[in-house]
Structure 1
Amino acid sequence: MSCQFKMKSENLEAVNYYVGIDVGTASVRAALVDQFGTVVAYADQPIQIWAPHPDHYEQSSDDIWAACCAVTKKVIHGINISQIRGLGFDATCSLVVLDSHFRPLAVNTEGECNRNIIMWMDHRAADQVTRINGTNHNVLRFVGGAMSVEMQPPKLLWLKENLRKSCWEKAGTSLYLPDFLSWKTTGATARSLCTLVCKWTYSSEKGWDDSFWKLIGLEDLMANNYTKIGNEVLTPGVPVGNGLTAEAARDLGLSKGIPVAASLIDAHAGGIGMIGANVNGYNLPCKNQPITSRIAVICGTSSCHMGISKIPVFVPGVWGPYYSAMVPGLWLNEGGQSATGKLIDHVVQGHTAFPELQTKSAASAQSIYTYLNGHLDLIRKSLPVGFLTVDLHVWPDFHGNRSPLADVTLKGMVVGLTLSQGLDDLALIYLATIQAIALGTRHIVETMQGAGHSVNTLFMCGGLSKNPLFVQMHADITGMPVVLAQEVESVVVGAAILGACASKDFASLQDAMEKMGRVGRIVLPNHKDKRFYDKKYEVFLKLVEHQRQYKAIMQSFGFHMLLIRDAIWQWNDKGTDITFLPCPPPKLQMGISGISLRIMKAIWKRRHCINHLAFFKAKTISSRYQERSLWSGESFC
């Protein structure tokens, strides 16, 4: 655990404090923040991640709660706790499953109840989300037209189909990690509007849509007015229950009854922590313009792009619009990239020159990324550093595309490799990867602008915002100034702002945002390099176009037909009563591509018809040749 104490407040006796707790992908962070938005104390502690199978990522709610308690006790050490006025949480979009007695329930085939969280980046439900998107239900309009595998309906469907006895039938409640923390501290099962609207298809105006849950086969969640997934919904920043319970107060080292705010997803907390900052005195294009001219980019393991508007804007491939999901009274659109910090680590640490980089950076007492940035300055000579990748291009979707293409099947691409294996080569691929991420941000922002958003300034926070090269590339490639917050930990400041709002010390959440979120450094774009990055962007868009062409060529090979035929023979060999209708049932068609569907229908025509389809199971492959199971249920053509 690391802990930092700043104690910047001049008159400690007159200061009110708020505790913000941020549960990220790999660590829990806490901050003690005063009413001026100054981080007085900060602590973090790592949390465990299990990856038992490809695309499966799990965590433990007990482990996370223990870390929350540890970091909170660190940051309040030496403080008069009567001055602590409120507590706020944010966390990742991870699914916590508890039994009817609120005990952890295993979300894995191993039966390990300690691993009761399906993480946000878990992609086990790829088949389920394909089928859900095949319904074309109206709720999909509010997620950019296609639901992400990282959202909750496909994960819940996976649990029902794969762990029906051990998990699904025993589950008493399923909730997002931010809502779990609210329950753990207050005993109240109310959910945050942010979590339900953004990731569960809940409507801030109409509530749950019964027809959607029935259509995808999860109608059992409708029982008792949706009690298992939430029937009391609170706006972020509103006090939850009666405040901190006696048990939670003991665990955290705080006073019983302290207001606990309705929580936020971590990226949204980052938006709250900075997007409302007062920009008077700064020469920015968003000056004297509404807050809707700003977009918050929260960049860590992944990246999220938060754009707000006064009226609903529907953006293809971008989640939302969600009303009051982040800023009360405004609509939110959320773009994102599933792997950014994780991608940079993957590329750098997987290079053959990584051991040399570790040795040299350690010898110079620098981080590996500070050393790489310096190395790029050495090899660029008189060129702008970005020009070093004129022949090296990366498509960054190593973990699928969240926005604006909403295609989880897309893969990463690198064009321009040589036989070089030295440190220069590592530095160049590192630079090209950062540029690719920034080009992805440009792709998202331009898509949002094309749909009706008016954005001219980026507000950036998160771990990657500490990397000067990452920030400069975003400014140069988007052509927009990047505003960095005075407090680098804007996400945990956003959580503290929630606590401040719950305390009633501020008139509104927007009031707290303006007074506690402050501008730090501003990074301006190098407009003289614009033409170069326009050309890089042109290549960037060609990369994905070509990838889709390659995929279509390989699909024409007909491998799907061989697999379907073999699957039918396998089931017949087992003595299973397999009979066929004139065409595949609709639910089966949801999970099959156009080519495979035509093949499947051709097979169906050669079989005899009956009045009822008992069961059919076929196997196809993903672009990585992983097995996928496609179900038909009991539907008829």
Structure 2
Amino acid sequence: MQSGKEEGISYYVGIDVGTGSARAALVDQFGTVVHQAEEPIQIWEPHADHYEQASSDVWAACCHVAKKVAQFAGSGHIRGLGFDATCSLVVLDKQFRPLAVNAEGDRRRNVIMWMDHRAGSQVNRINGTKHKVLDYVGGVMSVEMQPPKLLWLKENLRKECWDKSGQFFDLPDFLTWKATGVPARSFCTLVCKWTYSPEKGWDDTFWKEIGLEDILEDNYAKIGNQVRLPGAPIGNRLTSEAAKDLGLPEGIAVAASLIDAHAGGLGVIGADVKGHSLACENQPITSRLALICGTSSCHMAISKEPIFVRGVWGPYYSAMVPGFWLNEGGQSATGKLIDHVVRGHEAFRDLQQKADARGQHIYTYLNHHLDQIRKSEPVGFLAANLHVWPDFHGNRSPLADLTMKGMIVGLTLSKGLDNLALLYLATVQGIALGTRHILEAMQAAGHQISTLFLCGGLSKNPLFVQMHADVTGLPVVLSKEVDSVLVGAAILGACASGDFTSVQEAMETMSKVGKVIFPNEQHKRFYDKKYRVFLKLAEHQREYRAIMGDL
């Protein structure tokens, strides 16, 4: 580490914009989160599968949380700022003012969120081209990526939005523009969500073939012609206006951003695991998979050479760790699915009252309740005859099938708290089985994964963590700092400041192991059986669809 200040402690501010909130952390040079703050962000859902936000709300929330954490620096020096955010689409006009992305004409709502699925027909047409750029997104583009959203805007809001547009930002890049005034884009966002090639740049033939030839104008100025590696400094540093808004020192380094899941990966995957009896201690970093689990889940595996995995995004070069290729599996609804199942159950009110009476979170109470009803058998075995296929919001990986639906097999007339707890357990198992499905696709293609590194909100749930260890048969490493996404964002700021010579050096210094969870080997036969049922559910769903499609 090369500190720019010899006296005092160096700090970095990491700002993370998730699905429903903005968070900031003040992180010291050793990777310790000194203080953090959170502020909610409003979501609009004007129609089914339409999710929108306001970029002004997002920036205001970032400013609010940054001011809260900055005051805890004391005599230390804040040296850099890093952003990460969801891969939502921000639309601005030629004067950099918000443009409406909705038929209501509400210009304030100028963000199409990552989980918005309005562009289903557009993504089907894009995938129908079988263009060569699709080879780098697992062969099939997701509706959650940006080209289908752009095509939807052109076809549905041409006069109101498309013809007036000046900039289309991925949300992480919008934030660095707000901080610096420079409309540069990150390799991470452009490569992962926009079809940019690190070697060849933009492919004109793709945009022309899908009907977005006007994107080529002015050397792709609307979607980005200045590209920076994650952690590289954005030229102008923090402007005086942004410094005042954020409560941070003017002129500090601002780093090229990451998508939120990728920041989580950066925050955990490089941790020193010496002394924890893990195989990956003596293996290359490519033996590790970072699992970032919150509203949705992302599965990040890196490799020295490109690996093509059908139904898994990538390979993306230098999109998370510079110099490595990245494959990104994912589940579009995990935390959101658990909430949906639990809160929609008839016994939820009873659960809420009992959890409140004990001063516990509802999931802490449910985990305790499962322990109470399991008697002598392992908790997981309670769901031997209750099975969940978790694709309530389509399958991102490895089937890459937006039309897949959720399935629950084994329901009874029971409607009490015991039944709710079992359904919760089966849902968590279904999500873990989905992770195993993704892992097997990655390993069949050439990845050699021996250890899972978990972070994100769901990593705070012991049941969720243990189920992932038991179902996959792999040990799970939890970060010392639970909010590894924020550490990842701070690592970006640390790199931009020049205090570290590389992202890899910053990762090794600032990522710390907290706890290791090992699988219960004696439960392997049970989860192998559950996995066989899991695969049958997908097979049967497709059979049912074929039958009904014959009308």
Judge same fold: TM > 0.5, yes or no.
Answer: yes
- Paired amino acid for 1:333: N
Match of 1:71 among 44, 62, 65: 65
> Offset of 1:81 from its aligned partner?
7.3
What is aligned with 2:46?
A: 52
> Offset of 1:79 from its aligned partner?
2.7
Matches within 5 A, 1:175-574: 175-557=169-551
> Offset of 1:132 from its aligned partner?
0.4
SS in 2 for 1:166: coil
SS in 2 for 1:366: coil
Runs of 4+ in 1 over 3 A off after TM superposition: none
Q: Is the 8 A contact 1:475 1:481 kept in 2?
A: yes
Q: Are 1:111 and 2:130 matched, yes or no?
A: no
Structure 1 unmatched runs, 5+: 1-11, 558-637
Could you list the per-position Cα deviations for residues 411-457 of structure 1 after superposition, in whole angstroms to 9, with x for gaps in the alignment?
A: 00000000000000000000000000000000000100000001000
What is aligned with 1:596?
A: none
Q: Are 1:22 and 2:16 matched, yes or no?
A: yes
Could you list the per-position Cα deviations for residues 576-615 of structure 1 after superposition, in whole angstroms to 9, with x for gaps in the alignment?
A: xxxxxxxxxxxxxxxxxxxxxxxxxxxxxxxxxxxxxxxx
> Offset of 1:80 from its aligned partner?
4.2
Q: Distance in 2 between matches of 1:32 and 1:378?
A: 40
Match of 1:138 among 129, 132, 143: 132
Q: Is the 8 A contact 1:275 1:294 kept in 2?
A: yes
TM-score (structure 1 length as normaliser): 0.85
Q: Distance in 1 between matches of 2:42 and 2:72?
A: 29
Q: Distance in 2 between matches of 1:500 and 1:248?
A: 19
Q: Is the 8 A contact 2:8 2:76 kept in 1?
A: no
Equivalent residues, number: 547
> Offset of 1:281 from its aligned partner?
1.7
Match of 1:163 among 141, 146, 157: 157
Q: Distance in 2 between matches of 1:29 and 1:484?
A: 20
Q: Distance in 2 between matches of 1:180 and 1:201?
A: 18
Q: Distance in 1 between matches of 2:489 and 2:159?
A: 37
Q: Distance in 1 between matches of 2:281 and 2:70?
A: 37
SS in 2 for 1:287: helix
Comparing 21-30 with 282-291, greater Cα deviation is found at 282-291
Q: Distance in 2 between matches of 1:95 and 1:384?
A: 45
> Offset of 1:82 from its aligned partner?
6.6
SS in 2 for 1:298: strand
SS in 1 for 2:161: helix
Q: Is the 8 A contact 1:81 1:254 kept in 2?
A: no
Could you list the per-position Cα deviations for residues 25-73 of structure 1 after superposition, in whole angstroms to 9, with x for gaps in the alignment?
A: 0010000000000000110010000000000000010001001001010
**Alpha carbons of 1:78 and 1:431: their partners in 2 closer, same or farther (altered >3 Å)?**
closer
Q: Distance in 2 between matches of 1:31 and 1:494?
A: 10
Q: Distance in 1 between matches of 2:207 and 2:62?
A: 34
- Paired amino acid for 1:86: G
- Paired amino acid for 1:556: D
> Offset of 1:256 from its aligned partner?
1.4
Matches within 5 A, 1:612-623: none
Q: Is the 8 A contact 2:82 2:491 kept in 1?
A: yes
Identical counterparts, % of pairs: 74
Q: Is the 8 A contact 1:81 1:255 kept in 2?
A: no
- Paired amino acid for 1:118: I
Q: Distance in 1 between matches of 2:238 and 2:76?
A: 14
Q: Distance in 2 between matches of 1:264 and 1:112?
A: 28
| Higher relative contact order structure (alpha carbons within 8 Å, sequence separation ≥ 6) | 2
Q: Distance in 2 between matches of 1:256 and 1:379?
A: 57
Comparing 247-256 with 147-156, greater Cα deviation is found at 247-256
Q: Distance in 2 between matches of 1:338 and 1:250?
A: 37
SS in 1 for 2:42: coil
What is aligned with 1:607?
A: none
TM-score (structure 2 length as normaliser): 0.98
Q: Is the 8 A contact 1:18 1:33 kept in 2?
A: yes
Q: Is the 8 A contact 1:82 1:255 kept in 2?
A: no
What is aligned with 2:86?
A: 92
Q: Is the 8 A contact 1:193 1:204 kept in 2?
A: yes
SS in 2 for 1:297: strand
Higher-Rg structure is 1
- Paired amino acid for 1:214: K
